[in-house]
Chains A and B, each alone.
Chain A
């Protein structure tokens, strides 16, 4: 059972780390993607384009290696919720936003919003499995 939770967290961690590494190789491309959501001003978007990739790498490493795991979970959940909110608002407004999720150009007009949103929800589910399994295992060991 504990393997399931740990495995789910490692998969989510690898996805985060990969997304971060790809973005931090070209922050300007990520900035362009952020601006297509038409939510943030340029200055905030610049900060996000530099901070989010490193945060994703740190969180990914935390989830994979199990160091600072609770903090990594907290930030991962916050980031995933923020990503879903951004994608949903772009879909509602009919914007042709560039997901920017894993680098490269992933325009909504080509790939739609359903898969990026579903991917984020799946990652949230993976984190939830990790937390629940850990709680259950801890409760059993206490008894």
Chain B
């Protein structure tokens, strides 16, 4: 039992330090991913949406949300041309990637904001998984 008790003590020390760091560390992360995340119901309530698929080329080829344009960091320079051709400034640009744990949609959103100065950008909370769960798309066969 001694190793477990000692491990519990170490965990308690580390936990206390990490809680303190959360409040005082200048580079402490926030529990809110960004101000960009919106759930599916909020996105569907928008009057006009321009969908962007930030997953890999393979995933996009297998299946994607109807009307979504592929834009990922792997082939940014090539894909941005197609994005700009199709993009509508009146619509809200909504980006999704594979799941809630996928960071790609935030990376694409950050680049659209910083490089193209597109302000009306949101990220779909839950990504592709949220679209599948809602029955708006079908899970692609492997």
Contacts and interface: CB of A to CB of B under 8 A. Distances in A.
B10 A24 contact: no
Chain B interface size range: 20 to 34
Interface in B1-27: 2-11, 13-15, 17-19, 21-22, 25, 27
A81 to B, nearest CB: 14
B100 to A, nearest CB: 5
Question: Which of the four size classes fits the interface of chain A?
Answer: 35 or more
Interface of A is mostly: helix
Interface in A1-51: 24-29, 31-32, 35-43, 45-47, 49-51
Contacts of B7: 71-72, 74-75
A31 B32 CA distance: 13
Contacts of B103: 32, 35-36, 38
Contacts of A29: 27
B21 A27 contact: yes
A71 B3 contact: yes
Contacts of B22: 50
Nearest to A69: B6
Contacts of A39: 101
B10 A38 contact: no
23 contacts: A27-B29, A31-B29, A32-B103, A36-B103, A37-B101, A38-B103, A50-B19, A50-B22, A51-B14, A51-B18, A54-B15, A55-B10, A55-B14, A58-B13, A70-B2, A71-B3, A71-B4, A71-B7, A72-B10, A74-B4, A74-B6, A75-B7, A75-B11
Given A62-B6, A75-B11, 17 more contacts: A27-B28, A28-B29, A35-B103, A38-B101, A40-B101, A42-B100, A46-B30, A50-B18, A54-B18, A62-B10, A68-B10, A69-B6, A70-B3, A71-B7, A71-B8, A71-B9, A75-B10
